[in-house]
Chain A
Amino acid sequence: MNQSNTATTEPSQHNTAQRLFSNLFGRRSLDEWSLGSVLIIGVLALFICVVLPIYTLLSKSVENRAGDFIALTNFSQFFATPSLYNSINNSLFIALLSTTIVTSLSFLTAYGISRTRIPFKGLFRTILVLPILAPSLLPAISLVYLFGNQGIIKELLMGESIYGPIGIIIGSCFWTFPHALMIMLTALANTDARLYESAEVLGASPIRTFFTVTLPAAKYGIISVAFVVFTLVITDFGVPKVIGGQFNVLATDIYKQVIGQQNFEMGATVSVILLLPAILTFLTDRWLQRKQSALLTSKAVPWTAPKRQWLDRVFLGLMLLVSFIILSIILMAVYASLVTFWPYNLSLSLKNYNFDLMDGGGWAAYWNSIQMATFTAIIGTGFIFFQSYLVAKLPGFKVLKWFFHLFAILPLAVPGLVLGLAYIFFFNSPNNPLNGIYGTMTILVVCTISHFYTVCHLTATTALKQIDGEFESVSASLKVPQIKTFWRVTLPVCMPAVLDIASYLFVNAMTTVSAVVFLYSYNTSLASVAVLNMDDAGDIAPAAAMAVMIMLTCMLARLVHWLLGNVLLKNTQTWRKK
């Protein structure tokens, strides 16, 4: 009796325990768990590389040099110092004016490309986005040669100095223009011919149609461009550093406080102030994205521009003018880099490319940049794409994914300069176990990947969302491990997006100055930093030469990207054709 009793109770107890166990773990198969742990590692990596450094920066801004909490004393000190306080006015002035210029110009040129019948649209488009391949220092250097004390056309300024607000605004407009143009092109690409036909049938004049149909459809794009340009300009320090003269802005203040005066706490304080516009832009952008999606309907019929002779001529003139300005600035830098000794010996030579004869890191800096950009592109693309894949396609882990998404979006709101400073605070702290990577190539790669994380994450996510959501369910039902489906199906299908991410990371790693300027060491100087340092030391021609090298490398990278995308993929991806 007794014996049978134990025999019946034991299995039931065993069952309850088993049930509990399987409730907790059994639902997921082993490969789901291993992919889940990769996702956990991803969340931790972003937490360490993005969240913790920014947290450290924020706490530094309310501490004194000894590390004691002093509430907002740093901030009141900042506002009490007229020179620092003036920087806010200066920064706002520069950013607002540049935003107005770039927004209107990018709208007009985007309109010219997408809504008129001018010829050579492809060529114009290529020329207009060229500045994105150069570091932001390049236009500043060109301006020195064009309008500086020994500039070739400095009479055009009628006695005004290029060193100051004029130079900063022209330089800022130049390098932010392609960013604005690309957003604007997307905003203007969504046309619906039915609306234009309705307007015409209802007897609306072209002007009225423009204000009631064209402009409202592009409204969110325009707002988005304005915010993006404002943030890019106010957080950039390359242009004001080279051509700003005595005109101080917030971004150069951080640099001077940290590099010049070793006043890290005030650097952190200015950084926090600089975070505000970036966060505002970030929030606006999120808000706009939600609005924008509602505008598009799948039934829209694309609109073809009618022939409007005078309008097409005006726009052709505008495109020629803008292209001319962009090409002049680029070619000026190229020419300046080739002139033997400006302005006394104008014969052409490669003397300025003898980087090893100057301070700033020499050719080693260039090769460091290539190495850094390659690592960033390979490791960054691998990490970002795979993590985005897990967030999009791994079942379950909802809380973890929510945090991942938050951390992945965060870098968009953090200017490079602020991130670089945050990295100093976090990784250079002696009690940080990761202290060892400070001053190495690793920290440069990690920082660059983090800095440009968001755009890549969103690109990957968009591509992944276009894939049928049931692939993973199908492969699970066929008992194929999910990772195999990733390798055989998801990755090949997303190859164009993967290439986009790699090329974006490579180009940005080559051209970026803002974050890495705080993080390079003697052995890991970078080409973009060398431009800055050579310019600082008065070696402007070699600085121009290095900027040209960066630009050529980026052009080469884009060419490789194009070849891979158009030649290799076309041959291996016959399945895309009907």
Chain B
Amino acid sequence: MSNQAYLELQNIHQMFGTHQALQDVSLNIQEGEFVCFLGPSGCGKTSLLRIIAGLDMPTSGEIFQAGNNITQTPIKHRDFGIVFQSYALFPNLNVADNIAYGLASQQFSRQEKHARVRELLATVGLSGSEGKYPAQLSGGQQQRVALARALATSPGLLLLDEPLSALDARVRSHLRQEIKQLQEKLGVTTIMVTHDQEEALTMADKIVVMNHGVIEQIGSPQNVYTHPSTPFVAEFVGEMNFFKAQHSGAGMMQSGALILQCNPGTETTFGDDVQLAIRPEDIRFNCRADAENTLEANVLHLEFLGSRVRSLLQIDSHETPIIADISMNEMSGLNLAQGQSIRCQLPADRLHIFGGQA
């Protein structure tokens, strides 16, 4: 029993008419974990969150929370707090009344309620705002009040539905850290839905990448970034160059006239069509001529991005140009210019191999 996950989803399916919103989703979440559901809009991440909250019903499948089957449990008998994208703060109640809204029904005395509200406001950094109304607060402040309200009843599970998407970029990155710190301090199991990969990478202990109603990959942020298990994940999290290629020998892949050396251990066999992929920042310049996978490339275009330069490279005997990112430090030694030829390397240990066509 001790090894059991806090939240367990088993084979969740959901149909909306003929549209399959979720298809055989299974997932375990440990106590105290911060999990992000990441994916493009319409991938089913919000549907899954609503099922966990009990706002919608799965067509089939089961959900266990702390060992209890809660699939059929009405919302009010479930143990969770939720923050919606719109915050859904009650406009006619002040901050204190909003936060204390869930405390009323649990027989708290007046003093206890006041104390809890004060404590929560201090936690979210809004001390002294008790008497204000939601319309008088900024977006970021409303966000925090919504968070405090969700945490007021000390739920075992905190659900966040795109909580930062309505805020501007600066507030967003600030709140990102705050929510993460708060979650670590309270140790509350948290699920956040987001379409922003940066948010997921910086906040989550575990990322669940979803697309078209199925889970594409579950893993730590590092794992998902460095070892994407499908072309979709590779492209959705971070950026990726793709090559069509064919398995042409042990550890060898042929893409057009190019023969690239790859790390062995993949499940493809001779003649299989594969996709090779490499991240723009993994392409090396300054490499020895005898290193593996070195190529001659022509610089088509350079784009200054502040801390780095993005180059568009035309590789000899290869149709589609690839993107390579060069840090400003490296750039100063390279003296790259448009139209110039340069040698670059696609290191074998950085090449990702995906079987079949994407």
**Which A residues lie at the B interface, using CB under 8 A?**
19, 22-23, 26-29, 31-32, 395, 468, 470-471, 473-481, 484, 488-489, 492-493, 573-578
Contact = CB atoms under 8 A, between A and B. Distances in A.
Binding site secondary structure of chain B? loop
Contacts of A470: 84, 86, 88
B88 A26 contact: no
B106 interface: yes
B92 A493 contact: yes
Contacts of B101: 475, 478, 480
B145 to A, nearest CB: 12
Given A468-B88, A480-B102, A575-B91, A27 B72 contact: yes
A474 B91 CA distance: 13
Contact of B136 (A22, A31, A478, A578): A578
Contacts of B133: 574-575
Contacts of A576: 91, 135
Contact of A23 (B53, B72, B136, B150): B72
CB-CB nearest 9 A-B residue pairs: A478-B102, A470-B88, A29-B74, A476-B75, A575-B133, A22-B72, A470-B84, A489-B90, A492-B92
B84 A473 contact: yes
18 contacts: A19-B72, A27-B57, A27-B74, A29-B76, A470-B86, A470-B88, A473-B75, A473-B88, A475-B101, A476-B76, A477-B53, A477-B82, A477-B155, A479-B76, A479-B153, A480-B101, A489-B92, A575-B92
Interface of B: 53, 55, 57, 72-78, 80-82, 84, 86, 88, 90-94, 101-102, 104-106, 133-136, 149-150, 152-153, 155
Nearest to A470: B88
Contacts of B72: 19, 22-23, 26-27
B105 A480 contact: yes
Contacts of B136: 578
A80 B104 CA distance: 72
B93 A488 contact: yes
Nearest to A15: B69
Nearest to B77: A29
Given A479-B105, A574-B133, A471 B88 contact: yes
Contact of B90 (A19, A23, A471): A471
A489 B89 CA distance: 10
Nearest to A395: B55
Given A473-B88, A575-B133, 12 more contacts: A470-B86, A471-B88, A473-B55, A475-B101, A477-B80, A477-B102, A477-B150, A479-B102, A575-B134, A576-B91, A576-B135, A578-B135
Given A27-B72, A479-B102, A474 B92 contact: no
A478 B155 CA distance: 9
Contacts of A573: 92
A468 B81 CA distance: 17
Contacts of B84: 468, 470, 473-474
A468 B86 CA distance: 8
Contact of B93 (A26, A28, A29, A489): A489
Contact of A477 (B75, B86, B94, B104): B75
Contacts of A481: 76, 105
Contacts of B94: 575
A19 B62 CA distance: 12
A526 to B, nearest CB: 38
Contacts of A395: 55
A481 B77 CA distance: 11
B286 to A, nearest CB: 51
Nearest to B80: A477
Contacts of A32: 74
Contact of B81 (A26, A477, A489): A477
A397 to B, nearest CB: 14
With a 10 A CB-CB cut-off, give which of A470, A480, A488 has the most chain B CB atoms.
A470
Contacts of B53: 473, 477
A476 B81 CA distance: 10
Contacts of B152: 478
Contacts of B155: 477
A21 to B, nearest CB: 9
Contacts of A475: 101-102
A480 B78 CA distance: 12
B167 to A, nearest CB: 17
Nearest to B75: A476
A29 B78 CA distance: 11
Contacts of A478: 81, 101-102, 105, 149, 152-153
A36 B75 CA distance: 16
Contact of A479 (B86, B106, B134): B106
A399 to B, nearest CB: 15
A480 B97 CA distance: 13
B135 A26 contact: no
A372 to B, nearest CB: 33
Contacts of B149: 474, 478
A573 B153 CA distance: 28
Contact of A473 (B73, B82, B91, B153): B82
Contacts of A493: 91-92
Nearest to A482: B76
A489 B84 CA distance: 17
A487 to B, nearest CB: 11
Contacts of B106: 479
Contacts of B135: 575-578
A493 B82 CA distance: 22
Nearest to B152: A478
A31 B150 CA distance: 21
A19 B60 CA distance: 13
B121 to A, nearest CB: 17
Given A473-B82, A477-B82, A488 B105 contact: no
Nearest to B103: A478
A476 B56 CA distance: 13
A493 B90 CA distance: 9
Contacts of B93: 488-489, 575
A475 B86 CA distance: 15
Nearest to B136: A578
B226 to A, nearest CB: 37
Tell me which of A22, A23, A479 has the highest count of chain B C-beta atoms within 10 A of its own C-beta.
A479
Nearest to A576: B135
Contacts of A23: 72
A489 B86 CA distance: 16
A574 B80 CA distance: 32
A381 to B, nearest CB: 19
A570 to B, nearest CB: 14
A407 B55 CA distance: 28
A398 to B, nearest CB: 13
Contacts of B74: 26-29, 32, 476
A486 to B, nearest CB: 12
Contacts of A577: 135
Interface centre among B78, B80, B91, B136 (most CB of A within 10 A): B91
Contacts of B104: 480
